[in-house]
Chains A and B, each alone.
Chain A
């Protein structure tokens, strides 16, 4: 087939002369005033700063890789920062960026949601992309709606899957705490989405060059930031843990919490919990997984004595693998675990502790 998207153009028809629906050259089968000619994908690339060094977060590489794989148009990246950001160009090109818009403005060195959105709206007006994407990070989820409101377009949050049909983007996202998946389209251009971290693979290429442009932001920077301090809790956020040992109502003895902590430390894991443990006062709210707690996506989620309510599931259904330990064979958690062990959680933790001590060899 020809490369025309939408199929509304017949002037370049590829020889199907006998087609009775064929129109004279130059005449459109369907004249749609709202048919956008927008093309390409524009991505906001966030910059993580650690002292003087800059780093591109994984989610931005994932979004760029996704943009490159699904779109045959150009991939544009927008990045804010001073000259130090130039060090990130090769990485951006490698993940699929064709053109970098580098906004060099000292006022935008600190994160400014209003000005970032306003500035990106100007770039979108220049580029006219079909799609605007950013990572569903704390900042992405704050800037994207502001930008969508300026552009008067729709926005789909936290997508886990994207595909393009011509210029039309099909977005898939979990809804209602991960119990439903919704396929969403946007009827206006650009079509906007934030993309869940980890939903796509980052696929580098060996490309290291592309186009880079400086962009001057003329607008205002209204926000007065009084102080900023990096949060240096290190790995103490359960959302960062690769392995979580999670305790639930089946844990009857408070000492099991300490046991779990000790096992977790030796496994390179962290301990989280369900709401009932927080209600007992055994663990702080910051460790709670679920709809009213935190949403975690570890590689391995070990549910110890957790029944698996809908609210809890909403917080952990994104885990790569789930092991459930619960004496009740009918507990809902067994319905969505990779491995279900019908046994007592506290006893298993004790056994794990002994094994990690090396007294018993793990075969």
Chain B
């Protein structure tokens, strides 16, 4: 089986910087592998059989190769970086278009396209299903379990109020739902193996994408403005030594809703 896992680099924790056009400033902010992507990659690596091939791909600036390096340390076999100045500022639609072009150009025989549920910086969770539509394949969201069966797979999906099992044909898009709060650790052998492997960089022209199909020019959504969230909380600070008084205040809040 050939797996393609799409991952994203996200700015580390609370270091939010905003560009003039409202996009996030990523240069200079330490980037980490999005935990949802890491979890999805981990699930595939845990279930891989001998002979399976796991390829990771990300779209981002040149420094995004760091997260690909980490993916290979965790156990991925090969890595592609889709990188081009013209891709900057892509919204989910333009991102999906570029990723679709990549898959069709480089790994058209992928048996499964794997995503995390969402990223922690964008929170949209839209790209997997836009890619699925562009490729014309089925999509499986909120997957909690995936196993091989017959020619394809069987997935268990958790919609919150409903859990269901579906047949997953080869070539489908699968998005895992979870995240591992502890993260994964790369083994020493994984690190040594990754050190010898290179990252293939692919640019816009190599994927046959026009200037107006990607990046800010190819994005139908436009961020007009971003602003920091100003607290609208009453923010009443009370120094209380007596726990009973505090408990009374809390129960008062609970009763007054």
B234 touches A338 (CB 8 A): yes
Residues of B close to A204: CB separation below 8 A: none
With beta carbons under 8 angstroms apart, the residue of B129, B237, B254 that contacts A267 is B254
Minimum CB distance partner of A144 in chain B: B126
B183 CB → nearest A CB, Å = 9
Residues of A close to B240: CB separation below 8 A: 341-343
Residues of B close to A8: CB separation below 8 A: none
A179 touches B253 (CB 8 A): no
Binds B, one of A24-32, A75-83, A205-213, A348-356: A348-356
With beta carbons under 8 angstroms apart, the residue of B162, B179, B246, B253 that contacts A351 is B246
B252 touches A362 (CB 8 A): yes
A158 touches B222 (CB 8 A): no
A229 touches B163 (CB 8 A): yes
Q: Is A195 part of the contact surface with B, judged by Cβ < 8 Å? A: no
A183 touches B120 (CB 8 A): no
Q: Is A85 part of the contact surface with B, judged by Cβ < 8 Å? A: no
Select the residue from A139, A275, A302 with max chain B CB neighbours within 10 A.
Answer: A139
Range of interface residues on A (Cβ < 8 Å): 35 or more
- The CA of A150 and the CA of B244, in the complex, are separated in Å by 59
A343 touches B241 (CB 8 A): yes
Select the residue from A187, A243, A343, A350 with max chain B CB neighbours within 10 A.
Answer: A343
- The CA of A237 and the CA of B129, in the complex, are separated in Å by 26
Residues of A close to B164: CB separation below 8 A: 225-229
Q: Is A181 part of the contact surface with B, judged by Cβ < 8 Å? A: yes
With beta carbons under 8 angstroms apart, the residue of A179, A186, A285 that contacts B228 is A179
Q: Is A203 part of the contact surface with B, judged by Cβ < 8 Å? A: no
CB within 8 Å of B: which A54-84 residues: none
| Interface of chain B: mostly helix, strand, loop or mixed | mixed
Q: Is B165 part of the contact surface with A, judged by Cβ < 8 Å? A: yes
Binds B, one of A95-103, A253-261, A286-294: A286-294
- The CA of A227 and the CA of B166, in the complex, are separated in Å by 7
- The CA of A237 and the CA of B226, in the complex, are separated in Å by 32
With beta carbons under 8 angstroms apart, the residue of A228, A237, A314, A323 that contacts B250 is A323
B209 CB → nearest A CB, Å = 15
With known contacts A149-B96, A340-B238, A113–B224 Cβ distance under 8 A: no
A157 touches B233 (CB 8 A): no
- The CA of A224 and the CA of B213, in the complex, are separated in Å by 34
With known contacts A138-B159, A227-B164, A279-B181, A145–B123 Cβ distance under 8 A: no
A183 touches B225 (CB 8 A): yes
Minimum CB distance partner of A319 in chain B: B233
Residues of B close to A310: CB separation below 8 A: 13-14
- The CA of A38 and the CA of B252, in the complex, are separated in Å by 50
With known contacts A117-B133, A225-B164, A338-B233, A348–B141 Cβ distance under 8 A: no
B15 CB → nearest A CB, Å = 9
Q: Is B20 part of the contact surface with A, judged by Cβ < 8 Å? A: no
Minimum CB distance partner of A239 in chain B: B160
A157 touches B126 (CB 8 A): yes
- The CA of A227 and the CA of B156, in the complex, are separated in Å by 9
With known contacts A229-B162, A279-B181, A288-B181, A223–B138 Cβ distance under 8 A: yes
Q: Is A120 part of the contact surface with B, judged by Cβ < 8 Å? A: no
Chain A residues with CB under 8 Å of chain B are 48, 111, 113-114, 117, 138-139, 141-146, 148-150, 152-158, 170, 174-188, 222-231, 237, 239, 242-243, 267, 269, 275, 278-279, 285, 288, 291-293, 299-300, 302, 309-311, 314, 317, 320-323, 325, 329, 334-344, 347-352, 354-356, 360, 362-363
7 smallest CB-CB distances across A and B, nearest first, come from A154-B220, A310-B14, A149-B133, A351-B247, A154-B221, A347-B243, A145-B126
- Extra A-B contacts (13), CB below 8 Å, given A145-B92, A226-B165, A231-B158: A113-B129, A114-B132, A142-B141, A145-B128, A145-B130, A145-B133, A149-B93, A174-B229, A177-B120, A302-B250, A338-B235, A339-B234, A339-B236
